[in-house]
Structure 1
Amino acid sequence: MPVRLRKFIGTILLIVLVLGYAFIATTVAVNALGASPWWIHLTYFFFSGLLWILPAMLLIKWMAGPKQQ
């Protein structure tokens, strides 16, 4: 697969990932953390804010393609 096509597909998937993850994380927070103290909200959003980076890293690594030798 050409690198340009791989980057185009990866960009679209990355946008879908970020929007979908933000929607799911916010929905879970609203439904599960409504009456929780502020520090639980802070902890949840800290970890959920970092968690999307893992699939994004894999996607970006795929977008770069195989290593050139």
Structure 2
Amino acid sequence: MPVRLKKFIGTILMILLVVVYAVLATAYASLHLAEASGWIHLVYFFFTGILWVVPAMFLIRWMETGPKR
């Protein structure tokens, strides 16, 4: 697969990943953490804010690999 096509597909997937992840994390917090204290919200959003980096890291690594010979 050409590198330009991989980067285009990866960019679209990255945007979808961030949007879907943000919606799901916020929906979960709204449903399950509505009555929790501010500290629980702070810890939850800190970890969920960092957690999306893991799949993004694998996606970026895939985007940067060259074509197979």
Scaled by the length of structure 1, what TM-score is found? 0.94
Which structure 2 residue ranges, 5 or more long, are not aligned?
A: none
Indicate the residue corresponding to 2:15 in structure 1.
Answer: 15
Over the residues paired in the alignment, what is the CA RMSD in angstroms? 1.2
Measure the CA separation in 2 of the matches of 1:23 and 1:34.
16
What is the percent sequence identity of the aligned residues? Answer: 59
Deviation track 1:41-62 (CA, whole Å, cap 9, x = no partner) reads 0000000000000000000000
Length, aligned pairs only: 67
Q: Which runs of 4+ in 1 moved over 4 A?
A: none
- Higher relative contact order, chain-length normalized (CA < 8 Å, sep 6+): 2
Q: CA deviation at 1:16?
A: 0.2
Scaled by the length of structure 2, what TM-score is found? 0.94
